Amino acid sequence: MIYIRIGEKECEYNSNFQLILHTKLANPHFPPELQAQTTLINFTVTPVGLEEQLLGQVVFYERPELEASKMQLTKQQNDFKIELKRCEDDLLSRLSGAQGNFLGDISLVEQLENTKSMAACIQCKVLEAIENETKINEARELYRPAAERASLLFFIINDLSKINPIYQFSLKAFYSMFKKAMEHAKQDEDVSATVHTLTEAITYSVFLYTSQGLFERDKLTFLSHIVFQILLKQGLIDLQEFYFLLHFPMEAGKFSSVSFLSPQAWEAIKAISRMDCFSGLDRDIESLPKPWRKIVESSYPENERLPQDWKNKSSFQKLIILRALRPDRMTYALQKFVAESMGSKYINTPRLDFEKLYEDCGPSTPVFFILSPGVDPLRDVEKQGLKLGFSTDKGTLHNVSLGQGQERVAEKVLQNASQQGHWVILQNVHLVAHWLPSLDALLETAAENCHPSYRVFLTGEPAPRPEQHVIPRGMLESAIKITNEPPTGMSASLHAALSNFSQETLDVCSREREFNSLFFSLCFFHSCVTERRKFGPQGWNHNYPFSKGDLIISTNVLFNYLEANTKSMQVPWEDLCYLFGEIMYGGHITDEWRQKTLHDLSAAIHASKNS
């Protein structure tokens, strides 16, 4: 009997014992003494390896007979090698066991001849297979651009965790996006047109899926990175120029040769002029300052045309010049550059409907709402649940707010719901950091052999700093992440407010003209109130939790009041202004002067036709 010591305890040891460990960490660090005692196997996907896998999937979807021939050919070649190796081993075994003159052994000589002829036959078949493989590979190569683009996109979204650790995406989720994009791509008789359409469909699908889980401040960074990497891959932008745009190496300027440029901007122009493709830029600005002054002083310099021969520079090179002249307009310049390179649909993305997002989730794919102030995403869940027959009244929708010892309750609810096919909402998962590893394991086990209608919805706030991040990587990778930030700008905020309602809302009231006018002014009022929060103390003295729930309830109040006054055909202006300004929205405000501001704003927007 053999014993080994583990810590302070002796345990029996079996010689057949093996220990296999695995980790989901992308780049784990182990101490040298551990690495010396173990065999490390790296299964991390590489760009080239992923590209080959995705190419196989594309060809299998577009030309299944071609991929089947490829697989059959590969198997056939392996069978040839195995058969040849078996014959060689058998022959060597007979030769090593032969005694005396082996030429007298007739069976051995016959086997030698058979092996020789078999080897020649196999060699001919191998050459034939190589020729067929070459033809198949030539046909498969036509679809490589789509696989190459998809591989590039995966490694771009895989690096998003460097911006915020909550941006975690798995290869499994990416495969799902990839297949969905192939299914929705339009087919064409021309292979090159099909590949182009497929490539664009994959790019846009990945962009939409990923951007729905990104904060507004990071979306342009993500989109710009996609465009730059695609153009670099295609050789349409110079690598040196790209590094220059990112790092912009220059020394602190002390003076400027032209009056309309700051010393820092002039030093940036001098740094650009040292590059071959921008040689002479500083001299041209000095010799012909008037058109350059117009660009610098323009409200929209990204739309201005560069003077002289500089107008012939590429869009990317114009970005470099604009960063030197007007760095404050780089956000708008990047948006324009993306629209020119990829299309305006990447900039003007529509708000995704939760009903469509729900189609992508499943028992093993929860939905994770990344919370923002003033936004309540659970209304969409409850609304979708009512359509599909899930509600708290029926006992098929369970809502658990985590914290204060609710972990055991959540565990029991998850286990029961997975068997009965119910929906579970777990709110504020960031408050139970110590329990999250257990929740991660529970979500994985509960999804095994569960009811097909079982769904889980999670909500949590992002950590203020990366080192305070507590949500497990596995939970984030398996979930569909959705951010619900308030839109930026009055136009976007007004569109977002209107998108909460359908055409049925506008048609249901008998007093259609009055309702539609007041409904629009109510949405405009809601947009003004929420947009003021972005101006700090100049907007509101506190970050009041105005939400679309206030807008929805106010719309219901508007409908009820108009219907109640149908006979008199009067509009209760004073009542509505009081309800909206003092109760629905004013109920959030605690400061007297801010309350007066809100009341005046409501009165101005909902002014009667006689005022």
The winner for highest mean pLDDT among 223-232, 507-516, 581-590 is 223-232
Contact status, residue 298 vs residue 307, Cβ threshold 8 Å = no
Question: What does the mean pLDDT of the chain come to?
Answer: 85
pLDDT at 115: 76
Higher pLDDT, 251 or 555: 555
The dotted CATH code for 360-483 is 3.40.50.300
Q: Each residue of 556-566: pLDDT tens digit?
A: 888 888 888 87
Domain range list for the chain: 2-34, 72-141, 144-234, 239-346, 360-483, 490-605
DSSP structural state of residue 543 = -
Mean pLDDT, residues 346-356 = 79
Contact 325, 293 (CB under 8 A): no
**Angstrom distances, CA of residue 436 to CA of 429, 439, 458:** 7, 5, 12
Q: What pLDDT shows up at residue 60? A: 84
Q: What are the tens digits of pLDDT across the range 252-278? A: 767 888 889 888 889 989 889 988 899
Residues in a beta bridge with 427: 401
Strands, E, within 232-382: which ranges? Answer: 367-370
Query: What pLDDT is recorded for position 120?
Result: 79
Task: Pick from 28-42, 363-377, 431-445, 572-586 the range whose average pLDDT is largest.
Answer: 431-445
Determine the Cα–Cα distance for residues 153 and 161; give it in Å rounded to an integer.
14
Q: Please determine whether the domains at 144-234 and 490-605 fall in the same fold group of CATH.
A: yes
Could you tell me which residues come within 8 angstroms of residue 199 by beta carbon, excluding any fewer than 6 positions away? 145, 146, 149
Mean pLDDT of 399-403: 89
Q: How far apart are CA 41 and CA 39, in angstroms?
A: 7
**Residue labelled with tokens 């990175």:** 225
In the numeric block, the tokens 């309309």 are attached to 260
Q: To 5 degrees, how large is the angle CA 184–CA 182–CA 172?
A: 120
- Lowest-pLDDT choice from 211-220, 369-378, 425-434, 550-559: 369-378
For 490-605, CATH gives 1.10.8.720
Q: By CB neighbour count within 10 A (0-12 exposed, 13-18 middle, 19+ buried), where does 432 fall?
A: buried
pLDDT at 610: 40
pTM of the full predicted structure?
0.77
Tell me how far apart the alpha carbons of residues 337 and 315 are, in angstroms, rounded to a whole number: 7
d(CA 440, CA 137): 43
Look up residue 377 and give its DSSP letter: T
Q: How many CB atoms lie within 10 A of CB 495?
A: 15
pLDDT (0 to 100) of residue 323: 92
Phi then psi for 156, rounded to 5 degrees? -70, -50
Longest dimension (CA), the chain: 124
Q: Are strands 2-6 and 9-13 parallel, antiparallel or unpaired?
A: antiparallel
- pLDDT (tens digit per residue) in 209-224: 999 899 888 999 999 9
> Cβ distance 80 to 133 under 8 Å?
no
Q: Whole-angstrom Cα distance, residue 69 to residue 67?
A: 5
- Per-residue model confidence (pLDDT) at position 122: 75
Tens digits of per-residue pLDDT, 7-39?
Answer: 788 888 888 888 888 876 666 777 888 888 888
**Long-range contacts, stretch 239-248, CB < 8 angstroms, 24+ apart:** 240/275, 241/275, 241/277, 241/316, 241/317, 241/320, 242/316, 244/272, 244/275, 244/320, 245/316, 245/319, 245/320, 245/323, 248/323, 248/324
Q: What pLDDT band is residue 198 in, cutting at 50, 70 and 90?
A: very high
| 42 against 27, higher pLDDT | 42
Q: How far apart are CA 292 and CA 306, in angstroms?
A: 8
Q: Which class for 60: exposed (0-12), middle (13-18), buried (19 or more C-beta within 10 A)?
A: middle
Count the neighbouring beta carbons within 10 Å of the beta carbon of residue 18. Answer: 5
Distances (CA, A) of 433 to 437, 472, 608: 8, 9, 53
CA pair distance 558, 519, nearest whole angstrom: 8
Q: Give DSSP secondary structure letters for 327-346.
A: GGGHHHHHHHHHHHHH-GGG
User: Tens digits of per-residue pLDDT, 460-488?
Assistant: 988 888 888 999 988 999 899 998 776 67
Burial class (CB in 10 A: 0-12, 13-18, 19+), 273: middle
Q: What number of CA atoms fall less than 13 Å from residue 473's CA on the CB side?
A: 11
Q: Helices H, strands E: what count in the chain?
A: 25, 7
Domain 144-234 has CATH 3.30.530.20: no
Nearest to 122 by CA among 74, 73, 80: 80
pLDDT-above-90 percentage for the chain: 32
In angstroms, the CA 296 to CA 261 distance is 8
